Amino acid sequence: MTFWTLLVLTYGAGQWADYQSAVVLPPAACEQALRAAAGPFLKIFPDGAVQCVPLGIPYSSPRPKARPEGLK
């Protein structure tokens, strides 16, 4: 089973110490966004952090889909 992930940007120390941004994404999209955002983000906020945090909310279900009405 796959779970939703949360892309979290933590802005770091100083005046930005209490600031975070977060976006809910599928796992693969979160990894891609993390790789794309980490470099530019950490150049601007060197004390910051970028991470993908798994949530306990299922993204996909192991249950099969119901059979279509007309299929035998």
Confidence class for position 64, pLDDT limits 50, 70, 90: confident
Q: 44 Cβ partners below 8 Å, 6+ apart?
A: none
More confident residue, 33 or 65: 33
Segment 45-50 shows an average pLDDT of 92
CA distance 7 to 57: 14
pLDDT in tens, 10-31: 998 778 788 999 999 999 999 9
CA distance 15 to 42: 16
The yes-or-no verdict on residue 72 having pLDDT over 70 is no
CA distance 22 to 24: 7
Instruction: Tell me what percent of the residues of the chain surpass a pLDDT of 90.
Output: 60
CA angle 56, 22, 60 (to 5 degrees): 35
